[in-house]
Structure 1
Amino acid sequence: MGLLEFDGKRYLDGRASDPRELGWMCGAPPPPEKRITFESDAFIDFPQIRWSLSHMRELGPTANVWRGPGAPSQFERVDRTSEIEALTFADLDGRTRRFEDALFDTYADGILVLHRGRIVYERYFGELEPHLPHACHSVTKSYTGSLAAAFVHEGVLDDSKMIPHYLPELRGTAWDDATLRQVMDMHTGLDYNEIYADERSSVRVLGRACGRRPRPAGYDGPRTLCDYLRTVRKEGAHGESFAYKTVNSEVMTWVMTRVTGRSFTQLMHERLWAPLGCEEDGYVSVDPAGTQMGGGGMCATLRDVARFGELMRREGEWNGKQLIPAAVVHDVQKGDHPARFVSLGVTRSYRSQWWVTHDELGAFQASGIHGQRVYIAPKAEMVVARFASHPVASSAASEPIVLPQMLALGRMLRE
C-alpha cells in the first residue's frame, strides 16, 4: 500500500484498494460523547471525519429543511452493479483502475448512479446510510446558485445591480461595486483566499467567525458571518478573472433571502425539497446569530441530492412542473461564460455556482471539499451523486481519479 503526500501530510493512496486491507479506512467508530465538536478541529481529522460528515447536526446548530407532508417520489431500479463495478478506466496519471477500487481509493462514503431516471447503482460505506444526511459542503452552492438564477429569470432579482442595491450593509466593502452576476459567477476581485491547510487563511477566519472552527484564547475577531463579510476588502478589479471564493456565495444567499423575505431553508423547502418529493429532511448549518450558510452548510441524503441532479438533467422539470426555469439550465450548460479557468490542462467555466466541464458528455457538476459531487451528463442521460470523506479537502487529491471515472461510466451507459 502506497502513501500520498499532500500539503505536507501523508495519506493512504489506496493502491491496495481492497476494503478488507483498508479496514479502518472504511469506517470509524462514533467518537466519545461530546469530544468531537466545532470547538476542536478534530471533527475534520482523518479518520474521524468519516463519522463527522454523516453526523454534522450533532456537532453544531442547524436549521431544518422540511421534506413536506407528501409521500416521497420513487425511482425505478435497474440493477447494473456487477457491470459497473467491473468497469476499468485510466486515471489522469495513466494508472488503470477498476471502478469499485477507485471508490476506496478516493474515500467514498456513498455513491448513487441514475441512468434515464432509474437507479442502476447504489452503495454506502463506513458510517453513511440511506437515511442519513451527509455534509454536502460546496455542493450547497449549486442549490443556492440555481435558486438565485431562477429568481433572476423570474424578475425577482436583477443580476446587473450592484450588491449594495440589495445590501446597503456592504457599502464600503469589496462588494461595493460588484454586480450580482459577478458574485454568482465568482468573477470578483476580493482580498480573500481559500487555502484550507493554512490556519491563517481567510477561509479559516471565516470558519472561526461562523463558529465552525475553534477560536483561540483572547479571540477578538468577527463573531458572525455578516460581521466577517463586512471586513472583506477589494483586491483587483471585478469581472476580470474567475476566483473561487465562498464568501461570494454567502453574499448571494443574503441577497436572495433579503429580497424574498424567506430564509434559505424555507426557499429550499418550497422550491425544491417538497416538490421533488425528497425522502428525508435536510438541514443547514447556522452561525452563532442563526444565519443560515448557503455557501457550504447543507446536509442531505444521497438519494435526495440525486433527485436534485436529476431535476437539472431534466432541464428543471419534475412531474410536469417547472421547478427551475429551463433557460437557467441552458445558460449553465453553454460554453461562452466569461468566468473561465484551467483545470487538469483543460479550459472549463463556472456559471451560477456550477462547474461546467465542456467534456464529450456535456457534463456540469456541483462539487464540494473532501470529495462531494453531483455530476450531470446530459448526453449520457446520467446523474451521479457521490459523498466522500477524503482526508485532503482540496479536489486536487481526488479529481485525477474521479473525473476519468465519471467519463468512463458515462461512455458505458451511453452505449
Structure 2
Amino acid sequence: MTSISPFRDPTLPCNIRIPNQDWDRAPWNRWTFQHVREILPTTQVWRGAGPASVLPADLRDIEVIPFEVEEQAYTIGSFLETSYANGFLVLHGGKIVAERYLNGMTPYTQHLSQSVAKSVVGTLAGILIGRGMVDPTASLTHYLPELAATAYNGATVQHVLDMTSGVAFDETYTALDSHMAQLDVASGWKTLVNPNWHTNVWDLMLSLKDLECPHGTSFRYRSIETDVLSFVLQRAAATPLAELVSRELWAPMGAEEDAYFTVDAAGYALGDGGFNATLRDYARLALLHLRGGEIDGRRIVPTEWIAGTRFDADPRLFGGIYQEVLPAGAYHNQFWIEDTARGVYMARGVFGQLIYIDPGADFAAIVLSSWPEFVSTTRTRTALTAVRAVREALS
C-alpha cells in the first residue's frame, strides 16, 4: 500500500505509516488534522507584521456544567474527553473563559478546519462585497465567463454564497465515484484513481454540466460552490485566495499565527475545506463576528453584511436531512444559521469542526475535533447541546 509520512502515535507501532488514500480517516486523523502541511502541499496565509489583537482571559470552571442528549448525561469535561476533541475555547464578554487542548494539540498548532474554511471564504466575500468589488446579484459568468458552458450558466454569486444553485453535485463522502471523491482528487487530497478524473479544481468545476433543480429554488450542500465563489473573488481582486485572506482578513484581524491552505496541482488554495489555523486565531475570527465586523477598533467586515448573514436567510429553502440537526435552521453567505429569529449562526466542518456564534449573548465557542465519522447527527447534537449549556451557565 502506498503510504506517506511516518505516523508517530504512542498507541501504535512505531513503524506504521499513513496510507495516503486514508490520511483523513480514523485512526490517522487523530494525528493528521494537526499536521496537514507535513502531508499535502500548502500555501501560507501570512499574519502580517502587526501585533496580535488582544484576547483577554477570565477563566472559569466550566467542566462541571451538566447537560443531557438522547437520555445520556454529560458534563462539559466528560464531553471533551469522549468526543475526539483536540481543542475547545469559549468566549464570553470578549474574554476567553475556557481553553482546553487535548490529543497533543498546543496553542501554536494549526488545525485543519474542513468546511469551516467555507465561512472564512464567506467572510472574505462580505469584505469584497462591502467594497463594491463583487456584486452578489451579478451572474457568475460576469466574473467567470468560462462558466457559460457549464450548469452554472444563469446562476448568480448569491446562489453560490447560499448553495442554492441547481447544479448537480453528489456530496457523498464515502462513495468512491461521487463528485466529492472527484473533488478529493482534484484538490490534491487523494491520489488519482480514475484516469478520466480531473487533477485540479478549476477543471472539475468546468466539467459540471447537469442541473438537478432550477437555480435559487433549494439549498443543497455542495462543497464545490465555495470553490466557485473563491474563483469569483480571485478574479475580481486579481489576487490568489491565500493572499486575499491574508491581506483582507487575517492580518487586519490581528491573527497571532500564520494560517495555511492546502493547494491543488494548479496552485489553487482549497476554499471549500483546506484552511488550517490555531485555536486562538479561530477565536479571533469568532470575536470579529461577535463585534459586528470590528476588532480592536478596526472595521474589517461590513456590519450590514454580518446582520444580513444572521437574519436574511430564507428557511423555506432549507429542509430534508439538514433539519435533523437544525430544525429551525437555514444557510446563508456560507454560514449555517441555527435560527433566523435569534440570529445565532455557525461555521461547521466534517469530523467535528465548529465555530458557534451568538452575538445576542456575546458568546462564541470553538470545537476542533477528529471524529471517526465524517458526519454524525448524534455527535453534532451533543456538541451543540454542550456549547448551549455553557452559554446558559454563563448568561
TM-superposed CA distance for 1:31, in Å, is 7.3
1:85 is matched with 63
Counterpart residue number, 1:402 = 383
Q: How far apart are the structure 1 equivalents of 2:301 and 2:34?
A: 28
1:216-258 CA distance string (max 9 Å, x none) = 2x62311111110011122221111100101100000000010
CA pair 121-361 structure 1, distance change in 2 beyond 3 A: farther
Correspondence 1:380 to 2:361:
yes
Q: Work out whether 1:59 is the aligned partner of 2:36.
A: no
Answer whether contact 1:348 1:358 (CA < 8 A) is retained: yes
Q: Is the 8 A contact 2:147 2:153 kept in 1?
A: yes
Confirm whether residue 273 of structure 1 aligns to residue 250 of structure 2: yes
The aligned residue for residue 249 of structure 1 is: 226
Q: Deviations over 1:283-317 (max 9, x none)?
A: 00100111111111100000000000000000001
Aligned to 1:131: 108
User: Pairwise mapping of residues 159-178 of structure 1 onto structure 2 (< 5 A)?
Assistant: 159-178=136-155
Q: Map residues 302-317 of structure 1 onto 2, 5 A cutoff.
A: 302-317=279-294
Q: What is the percent sequence identity of the aligned residues?
A: 33
Q: For 1:22-68, what per-residue CA distance to the aligned partner results, in whole angstroms no more than 9, with x for missing partners? A: xxxx98669759x436xx22312312211000000011111101111
* Partner secondary structure for residue 401 of structure 1: helix
Tell me the distance in 1 between the aligned counterparts of 2:14 and 2:385: 35
Equivalence for 2:327: 346
Q: Which amino acid aligns with 2:277?
A: A
* TM-superposition CA deviations, 1:323-344 (whole Å, max 9, x none): 0000011001115525433233
How far apart are 1:360 and its partner, in Å?
8.2
Residues 360, 123 of structure 1: alpha-carbon distance in 2 compared, 3 angstrom cutoff: farther
User: What is the rounded CA distance, in whole Å, between the counterparts of 1:326 and 1:156 in structure 2?
Assistant: 17
Deviations, residues 132-172 of structure 1 (Å, cap 9, x unaligned): 10001110111111111232232211111111111111112
Amino acid at match of 1:62: T
Does the 8 Å contact 2:53/2:296 carry over to 1?
no
User: Is the CA contact (8 Å cut-off) linking 1:363 and 1:376 kept in structure 2?
Assistant: yes
Local SS of the residue matching 2:231: helix
Q: Which amino acid aligns with 1:255?
A: V
Q: 1:283 to 1:346 in 2, by over 3 A?
A: same
Aligned to 1:398, the other structure's residue is in SS state helix
Report which stretch shifted further, 171-180 or 306-315: 171-180
Distance in 2, matches of 1:31 and 1:237, equals 53
* Alignment-mate amino acid for residue 222 of structure 1: H
Residues 7-406 of structure 1 aligned to structure 2 (within 5 Å)? 35-36=17-18, 40-80=20-60, 82=61, 84-91=62-69, 93-216=70-193, 219-233=195-209, 234-334=211-311, 336-337=313-314, 339-341=317-319, 342-344=323-325, 346-358=327-339, 362-406=343-387
CA shift at 1:399, angstroms? 1.1
The SS at the match of 1:77 is coil
Q: Matched residue pairs, number? A: 382
Classify 1:140/1:117 alpha carbon distance in 2 versus 1 (closer, same or farther; 3 Å).
same
CA RMSD after TM alignment: 2.0
Task: Indicate the SS of the match to 1:43.
Answer: coil
In structure 2, stretches of 5+ residues that fail to align are 1-8
Q: 1:232 to 1:318 in 2, by over 3 A?
A: same
The 10-residue stretch of structure 1 (134-143 or 189-198) with the greater mean CA deviation from structure 2? 189-198
1:359, 1:148 → 2: CA distance? Answer: 21
* Cα distance in 1 for residues equivalent to 2:40 and 2:152: 29
Partner SS, residue 293 of structure 1: coil
Post-superposition CA distance 1:332-359 (Å, at most 9, x none): 1115525433233612111100111018
Q: Kindly provide the amino acid, as one letter, of the partner of residue 412 in structure 1.
A: A
User: In the alignment, is the contact (CA less than 8 A) between 2:127 and 2:248 conserved in 1?
Assistant: no
Measured after TM superposition, the shift of residue 274 of structure 1 is: 1.3
Partners of 1:371 and 1:390 within 8 A in 2: yes
Provide closer, same or farther for how the CA distance between residues 28 and 359 of structure 1 changes in structure 2, counting only shifts above 3 A: farther
Contact 1:209 1:223 in 2 (8 A): yes
What's the counterpart of residue 9 of structure 1? none
- Under a length normalisation based on structure 1, what TM-score does the superposition of the two structures give? 0.88
Higher alpha-carbon deviation: 283-292 or 206-215: 206-215
Letter in 1 for 2:55: F
Q: Is the 8 A contact 1:27 1:50 kept in 2?
A: no
**Residues 143, 309 of structure 1: alpha-carbon distance in 2 compared, 3 angstrom cutoff:** same
The answer to whether the Cα contact below 8 Å between 1:112 and 1:121 also exists between their aligned partners in 2 is yes
